[in-house]
Amino acid sequence: MSRVLIVGSGLTGSICACLLHRQLFNKVKISVWDKASGAGGRMSTSQSPSNRSCTVDLGAQYITATPYYAKVHKSFYDELLLCGILKPLEATIEGMLSNAKGSINYVTPSGVSSIVKHYLNESGAEVLFGCRVTHVRLKGPGWEVCRQGASPEEFDVVVLTMPIPQILQLQGDVRSMMSEAERQMLEDVSYSSRFALGLFYKAGVRITIPWAAKYVSDNPRIRYIAIDDKKRNLGDGTGARPAGPHDAELRAPAGVWRRWLHTLRFRRLCGVCPEDLRGSEDLALKFGGWGFGRLERAPPTSKQRTQECLIWGRADAFELQNLLQRLL
């Protein structure tokens, strides 16, 4: 039985694990490592410390299926809808850009990370959190992988689903297997940062605004607000979330944003926070930050193969199905 390691438990890593399991079943033993404390990556959902059923999405907010992707990936959408993980977005989102004609927006009643957790559960993989990979080395016909605070382990296949800058920072043999042109192409990929603040309020707080979420265009720091229960069609909201600082502020370190958000609190942002919340004490606060939050300049879309043992492709989780079919 071959040992496969997938580094990263976001959408790409979870779908990769699930597809490998479904197509190879008892021929592979799959492990998933992630440096974070939970699954989701940029599809992160955070729980209230006082009520685990009360959650806020700190990453992706909803899923848009264009007619093309709805057709190409019909099996994915059908599965998630059948399991109740997705349902159509019915709430009003102010300032939403128009999508391709016939597109459908979906929300996740249990939080957007429920998509990732579904595929991880389906994969049967051994999932370990708090695992920061430092080295990936060739060793015989396979790979030796080192993580902080643990002994090296050997795998037959290693799949890296982290942002490209993190892959290029790994020590070992990954960079040496690329040509100079390939390294330069990957080094040219760029990301922008995203930070999010989730606030939880007492159950009795009433939010009477007409929208469930809103894109903000006239504030230098806040780009988006959502009342998550309303967004998910669950009734009155219990939490509010601003996401994504203005592009002009993206160079600020995460620590600066964290201190700013903790000090000002969402309810003090006059003109942005709904009137219903300005006098209400929030019960808990959750902060999320991604130094590689949004891909700004992507690598070419074509898949490449180097020396038959290093494979990379543009990070689109659903496209993994096509890539895996070529490999198996």
Please spell the DSSP secondary structure of 264-324, one letter per residue: H-GGG-TTTS-GGGTTPPEEEEEEEEEEEEEEEEPPPSS-EEETTTEEE----GGGHHHHH
pLDDT score recorded for residue 276: 55
Fold of the 190-296 domain? Polyamine Oxidase; Chain A, domain 2 (3.90.660)
The whole-number average pLDDT for the span 172-193 is 87
**Which ranges in the chain are annotated with CATH 3.50.50.60?**
2-51+112-189+300-327
pLDDT score recorded for residue 247: 28
pLDDT score recorded for residue 3: 94
Q: Is the pLDDT at 256 greater than 60, yes or no?
A: no
| CA–CA distance, 223 with 194 (Å, rounded to integer) | 10
284 and 48 Cβ atoms separated by less than 8 Å: yes
Q: DSSP for 109-143, please give it.
A: TT-THHHHHHHHHHHT-EEEES--EEEEEEETTEE
Q: Is the pLDDT at 272 greater than 60, yes or no?
A: no
Contacts of 231 (CB under 8 A, 6+ apart): 61, 62, 89, 91, 93, 107, 212, 213, 237
Residue appearing with tokens 């309303």 = 230
Of the pLDDT bands very low, low, confident and very high (cuts 50, 70, 90), residue 189 is confident
Of the pLDDT bands very low, low, confident and very high (cuts 50, 70, 90), residue 245 is very low
The whole-number average pLDDT for the span 238-249 is 36
The angle formed by the CA atoms of residues 71, 74 and 75, to the nearest 5 degrees, is: 155
Q: Which of 293, 286, 223, 289 is closest to 54 using CA atoms? A: 286
The whole-number average pLDDT for the span 223-233 is 88
**Which helix (H) or strand (E) covers residue 171, if one does?**
strand 171-172
| Residue 60: both structure tokens together | 């992706």
Total Cβ atoms within 10 A of residue 61: 21
Residue appearing with tokens 């998509």 = 115
Sign of the dihedral through C-alpha 91, 94, 98, 99: negative
- Highest averaged pLDDT of the listed ranges 174-188, 202-216, 310-324: 174-188
Of the pLDDT bands very low, low, confident and very high (cuts 50, 70, 90), residue 281 is low
| CA–CA distance, 286 with 284 (Å, rounded to integer) | 7
Sign of the dihedral through C-alpha 47, 8, 191, 67: negative
Q: Is the pLDDT at 249 greater than 70, yes or no?
A: no
234 and 109 Cβ atoms separated by less than 8 Å: yes
| CA–CA distance, 189 with 267 (Å, rounded to integer) | 37
pLDDT score recorded for residue 8: 94
| CA–CA distance, 313 with 136 (Å, rounded to integer) | 18
For the chain, percent of residues with pLDDT exceeding 70: 76
Range in 47-56, 236-245, 254-263, 309-318 the model is least confident about = 236-245
pLDDT score recorded for residue 239: 44
21 and 128 Cβ atoms separated by less than 8 Å: no
Tell which wins on pLDDT, 206 or 115: 115
| CA–CA distance, 202 with 281 (Å, rounded to integer) | 8
Indicate the pTM of the whole model. 0.84
pLDDT score recorded for residue 14: 95
Tell which wins on pLDDT, 6 or 291: 6
Q: Is the pLDDT at 108 greater than 90, yes or no?
A: yes
Sign of the dihedral through C-alpha 108, 110, 112, 114: negative
Range in 57-66, 69-78, 92-101 the model is least confident about = 92-101
181 and 251 Cβ atoms separated by less than 8 Å: no
Write down the architecture of domain 2-51+112-189+300-327 according to CATH. Answer: 3-Layer(bba) Sandwich (3.50)
Pairing mode of beta strands 142-147, 133-139: antiparallel
Sign of the dihedral through C-alpha 248, 252, 254, 257: negative
Residue appearing with tokens 């008892």 = 26
Q: Is the pLDDT at 291 greater than 60, yes or no?
A: yes
For the chain, percent of residues with pLDDT exceeding 90: 43
**Which helix (H) or strand (E) covers residue 79, if one does?**
helix 74-82
Of the pLDDT bands very low, low, confident and very high (cuts 50, 70, 90), residue 267 is very low
For the chain, give percent helix, strand, coil, nearest 5.
30, 35, 40
**Which ranges in the chain are annotated with CATH 3.90.660.10?**
190-296
The whole-number average pLDDT for the span 145-149 is 95
Query: Nearest 5°: phi and psi at 175?
Result: -65, -40
Average model confidence (pLDDT) across the chain? 79
Range in 171-180, 184-193, 226-235, 274-283 the model is least confident about = 274-283
The whole-number average pLDDT for the span 88-115 is 92
- Highest averaged pLDDT of the listed ranges 42-46, 48-52, 302-306: 42-46
